[in-house]
Amino acid sequence: TDGDGIDDGTEVLVKTSNPLIFNFDNDNDDFYDFEDCNDLVAEIYPEATEIWNGIDDDCNDLVDDNLKRQNLVLTIPQTQIIHSWDAVNDTLVFGLNNIPTQVNTEITWKIGNYDLKENISNQGTRLDINSLECGRNKDNLTMLLCGNGTSNQQIKATIVDSGFTTEFVWDIDMIVWIPPPTFTEILLSFFTSSIGLVFISSIVLAIAAIGLFVNFRISRKNELEEAYAAYNIPSVKFDYTPDYSKTVLPSAPDLSSLESRINIQSSEIELPDLPATIPVIQLPSKIIEEEDIVELVDIPSRIID
């Protein structure tokens, strides 16, 4: 009736369309406008093959459904093998390729549970982890990986688009060789530690004490020189000239021959052997009577010039 090429019975019984309204097939895909979700694009129609483009190609109200994205994304490097990473010398580079630019994606990268958002570029499709400088760089990632040392790590990339989540996992054999610290680094580490700060403080205090002592001695010497000058006392000590060291003193006389001669003479003199007796003298004793006692008279004395 409407002249659109569909008989009225088909419209009413099969297509459930209005036989009085003309229907179009603008893209000539054999699907009329009331059947086609986009009648201007021939590749979009019911039961069409869904492709990864951010569009509902098969008109089922789902975007990019029934797609195995693991087969569509090209990962660099591959995810099926274990990769060795010399973390101290080499930069780690991972990539996700063949993601359509018109697809609205949200991509995150993690190593273990650590978010690598600071290391991604190209709208999240590229990951770069620079070689580690353990002991020098203090960023969180360097400290984490250096702290783990040589170990097995796992990097995971997660893509979310159109409500679908896709994960890619790489197993990494990470090798971390930390060179021994240099002598300068050891000294710097010591002086910046608590013990080193105490040591430096002690040295500074000791130097200050020595400086105060030297200053006190100098000021004391200056005071003495001022006192010597005030009382006209010479403060210069007598200096011995080197000429005194050239004076030759005579040696002491040799008295050994004289001593031997005295010993010979004393041995030739023979002394008589005299008995060692003490003569005893007996004095007659006398009894003193009372009348023989003489009384002493106290006579005054005077000095005669």
pTM, rounded to two decimals: 0.55
Query: Taking the domain 69-175, which CATH number applies?
Result: 2.60.40.10
Q: Give the whole-angstrom CA distance, residue 173 versus residue 148.
A: 12
pLDDT tens digits in sequence order for the chain, 305 residues long: 555 556 655 655 556 565 656 665 667 777 766 677 887 888 888 889 999 999 999 989 999 999 999 999 999 999 989 999 999 999 999 999 999 999 999 999 999 999 999 999 999 999 999 999 987 888 999 999 999 999 999 999 999 999 999 999 999 999 998 777 788 878 888 888 888 888 889 999 999 999 999 998 898 888 888 887 877 777 655 555 555 555 566 667 766 676 676 666 656 555 566 555 555 556 555 555 555 555 555 555 555 54
Phi, psi of 196 (to 5 degrees): -65, -40
What is the DSSP pairing of strand 164-175 with strand 82-86? parallel
Cβ-proximal residues to 170 (8 Å cutoff; 6+ apart), any chain: 75, 77, 79, 83, 94, 154, 155, 156
Question: Pick from 132, 221, 141: which is nearest to 176 by CA?
Answer: 132
Q: Give the whole-angstrom CA distance, residue 35 versus residue 188.
A: 78
